[in-house]
Structure 1
């Protein structure tokens, strides 16, 4: 742990309004409030929000060095005991996203073999097939325009559901599409409230969220039970992820029981479709706003694919598209804020952080840090040439987190995003209709309005 040499220094932060501190600013726009706080107070900021007796106090860390300390070098000292994770844990269970200690390590050992590069590359054909289905449907869009927010959400959900559930994809897609927004809204509202009514009280919000959670659990349990009863046909590269989960395990750790399988499936559904949908939608929207960059990317796609469907090996053959995706993920990281709770007192950036303190790191803010990124609001895929990437701090760009809790599905996310974008961009030239897209920060970054583009078929 870092030695504490400046224990008397007071961590700076906004005063906000009397009695309530920064509560209204954080509720109005968390991301804007964090960005302004870094500009006015520096890379470590103390926030106070709420009235006396119901007050929330937390520290926001915006430097890459501080982010690395929390997520990696001192990860054991910063745990997922934060109240927000408890709210996520209630509907989605104790899977890889929320579990800790021995539970997490056991789950990670069991599930890790399902996310090897070789295994994930085997899903490339499914990704390309789902993306081509979208391209075909776009042949006759109303008015020649589509909303990338809804379209990419649907594409990512269908893709991850197909990989998870195989032939049972339709039932899963309909249920997730109906239930996830209800649960997400409920989790975010409770996660950022200093006090909440007990979930067992029959309030309209509690009842609606409980019904959505029960429906989501039921469809996952039903598909899993049917799979076990039928006997999975093997664990080859064509097997869906649910089949692999029912068979996963080690001699030391055993396998996953029915509840654990459902919890992993729910986490994969959450992390595997909302985050990728955000990355895809903003990549395509930014390219639609920058026709020169779009033309360069399409020229690369046409040269590499030459009319064939993309495959896993093309991930390394499409560097311009990959750089555009990474730049979109810099500007619109799907997980814009990551929270932790400190176990023991430590020092970050020359300031003492007390034991038990809630802390957050923010890819949204760090990805826009002017000391790390020149003209940070500008879309410039060339920031991600290999040479420029190697010259930057490891935690100047961390859309997948980092350290021992880094996202297990990051290779799948990159594969899906690049291959799906390649299929759509080889078929259409996109022109932005909406220039600015309003945002909201929930469990993941979400567009709060449309990102419409006009389509022109090419090729």
Structure 2
């Protein structure tokens, strides 16, 4: 048995820079190779002497559970990456900690009950209907499902957030989010950054985008707060403005804006990734696509889906879960250890940067036979029961699990059912390279040829 005092194994990398270039070029591939070659706890070093960082990859389901759940208090969002996200997108549920997080969670949780979320189904189906109409005139009958699902998810979540203010908000989000996201990612992965207030081009572009995004959010927030209890909308922003309790008070304008920004970031990029790759995988696997379509046609019988249909679409749900296994929207999740601990028989020192990686664990041969193969039947009830709880964790886990996971599943399954009922998809691009950004990002289009169902 390995002693806890044994040095954690890992790749040697280059003599002076370690695995810096490997991690920068392809962090997900580097993590996957690390697990295959060195096991479930792997130490990566990166950077020149004096600026070198150590990163401990934890790749087993049991290790992920320890970091995210059973010892979650010892693994905090104190690393440089989360600090950059915090400075760009605010101190909302994704980034806040301790008393701030607990108070926000208590105030926001009632807005994400199943009953409340089910009420947003019509926003999803309305936006999907509009998408399907646009697809009727797609040039050459071909669409890039990455771009299309990003637009669909953004419009759906923005409509749910902003209600009547959605048309003002969407162009600003579309314009500003990519600028801020790329800037935040570069800084989060760099060992040294210039201060944000320095007037260099990168800082100025990002600051301009943040000012524009913050301004539209602040304006809509102020409108809702001015309406007070008289506000009639059921959009999330109105509900956030009205949220209060005797214990926690209410959210001020800045806190509301921070929640809105985090919901926009987490609510549209993650769902878009799951939807896009579910469609792309089905486009590459005609038999599974036909089975999913048959289920949608049988259950919906020509009508618009409702929230209650989610439970009646088990095969589509399995398709989505398998897509999220192969293409988890949050492919790597970072934490920092507060105190020294032991994972898998190895010592993790206090202050260590730790990463758990759904991208790797979802491909672990101990839990998944032929892990690169697309097979929705992995998520039948019996196989699911036989796997460890954290063999599949696309929504994170433990006390910091994604608050919006039911909404993501609802939106994705309903949208898939409507799309498959109208169109057959054939993959033009067979393989789509990806990389880890703030969320999983595609490096190339995922084009699909559309054929109306029933067309000769």
TM-score (norm 1): 0.97
Q: Which of 17, 29, 49 is the matching residue for 1:52?
A: 49
Counterpart among 357, 382, 392 of residue 387 in structure 1: 382
Runs in 1 of length 4+ with deviation above 3 angstroms? 230-235
| Structure 2 equivalent of residue 318 of structure 1 | 313
Secondary structure, counterpart of 2:124 in structure 1: helix
Q: Is the 8 A contact 1:232 1:243 kept in 2?
A: no
Paired position in structure 1 for 2:324: 329
Question: Is the 8 Å Cα contact of residues 131 and 423 (structure 1) preserved in structure 2?
Answer: yes
- C-alpha distance in 2 between matches for 1:151 and 1:166: 21
> Where in structure 2 are the equivalents of 1:71-86 lying within 5 Å?
71-86=68-83
Post-superposition offset of 1:234: 5.0
**1:192 corresponding residue in structure 2:** 189
- Aligned positions of 1:147-162 closer than 5 A: 147-162=144-159
Q: Which residue of 1 aligns with 2:446?
A: 451
- Tell me, in whole angstroms, the C-alpha distance in 1 between the residues paired with 2:434 and 2:397: 24
Secondary structure of 1:268's counterpart equals: helix
Q: 2:222 aligned with 1:225, yes or no?
A: yes
Distance 2:395 2:229 in 1: 32
State the Cα distance separating 1:232 from its structure 2 match: 5.8
Query: Residue 18 of structure 1: CA displacement?
Result: 1.0
Partner of 2:406: 411
Q: CA deviation at 1:376?
A: 0.2
Deviation digits for residues 224-273 of structure 1 (CA, Å, limit 9, x no counterpart): 112223446557xx600000000001100000000000000000000000
| 1:121-150 residue CA offsets vs partner (Å, 9 max, x unmatched) | 000111111011101111110011000011
Residues 423 and 452, structure 2, Cα contact 8 Å, conserved in 1: yes
Aligned partner (choices 94, 108, 128) of residue 131 of structure 1: 128
- Tell me the equivalent position of 2:352: 357
- Give unmatched runs, 5+ long, in structure 2: none
Q: Match for 1:116 among 108, 113, 117?
A: 113
Would the aligned equivalents of 2:228 and 2:241 in 1 still touch at CA under 8 Å? no
Which position in structure 2 is the counterpart of 1:175? 172
Q: Deviations over 1:153-191 (max 9, x none)?
A: 000000000000011111111011000111111111111
Partner of 2:142: 145
Q: CA deviation at 1:5?
A: 8.7
Cα-to-partner distance string for 1:274-312 (whole Å, 9 max, x where unaligned): 000000000000000000000000000000000000000
- Alignment partner of 1:263 is 2:258: yes
SS at 2:425 equivalent: strand
**Distance in 1 between residues matched to 2:4 and 2:409, nearest whole Å:** 42
Q: List aligned pairs for 1:237-248, cutoff 5 A.
A: 239-248=234-243
1:280 to 275, 298, 301: 275
Distance in 2, matches of 1:420 and 1:201, equals: 44
Q: Secondary structure of the equivalent of 2:424?
A: strand
Please show how residues 246-257 of structure 1 align to structure 2 within 5 Å. Answer: 246-257=241-252
Counterpart contact for 2:224–2:231, Cα < 8 Å:
no
Q: Deviations over 1:68-127 (max 9, x none)?
A: 000000000000001100000001111100000000000000000000000000001111
The residue aligned with 2:88 is 91
TM-score (norm 2): 0.98
* Partner residue in 2 for 1:9: 6
CA RMSD of superposed structures (Å): 1.2
Partner of 1:22: 19
